[in-house]
Copies of this chain bind each other. A is one copy, B any other.
Amino acid sequence: MNAQINNGSGSEALNETTSVRLTEMLRRSIMAGEFEPGARLRIADVAKQFGISHMPVREALRQLEADRIIEIESHKGARIRTVDAEFVGNMYDMRGALEVLLVERCVERASDAELKPLKELERAYVQAVASGDRVAMLAANRAFHSLTYKAARNPEAERIVGQGWELIHAYRVRYGFGRERLKQNIREHKILADAILARDVRAAVAAAKTHCDSARDDMLRCLADEAGSAS
Contact = CB atoms under 8 A, between A and B. Distances in A.
Interface of A: 15-17, 20, 58-59, 62-63, 65-66, 68, 74-75, 87, 90-91, 93-94, 96-98, 100-101, 105, 153-157, 160
B101 A93 contact: yes
A95 to B, nearest CB: 10
Given A58-B59, A59-B62, A63-B66, A16 B74 contact: yes
A130 B185 CA distance: 53
Number of copies: 2
The 4 residue pairs across chains A and B that have the minimum distance between CB atoms: A66-B66, A97-B101, A90-B154, A94-B157
A220 B97 CA distance: 23
Contacts of A15: 74
B90 A98 contact: no
A59 B153 CA distance: 31
Nearest to A164: B156
A83 to B, nearest CB: 11
A14 to B, nearest CB: 12
Given A98-B98, A160-B160, 10 more contacts: A15-B74, A16-B74, A62-B62, A65-B66, A68-B156, A87-B156, A90-B156, A93-B157, A97-B97, A97-B98
Nearest to A16: B74
A75 B20 CA distance: 12
A94 B160 contact: yes
A222 to B, nearest CB: 19
Nearest to A86: B153
B90 A94 contact: no
Contacts of A87: 156
19 contacts: A15-B74, A20-B74, A59-B62, A62-B62, A62-B66, A63-B66, A66-B66, A68-B156, A90-B153, A90-B154, A90-B155, A93-B101, A93-B154, A93-B157, A94-B156, A96-B101, A97-B98, A97-B100, A97-B101
A15 to B, nearest CB: 8
Contacts of A154: 90, 93-94
A75 to B, nearest CB: 8
Contacts of A153: 90
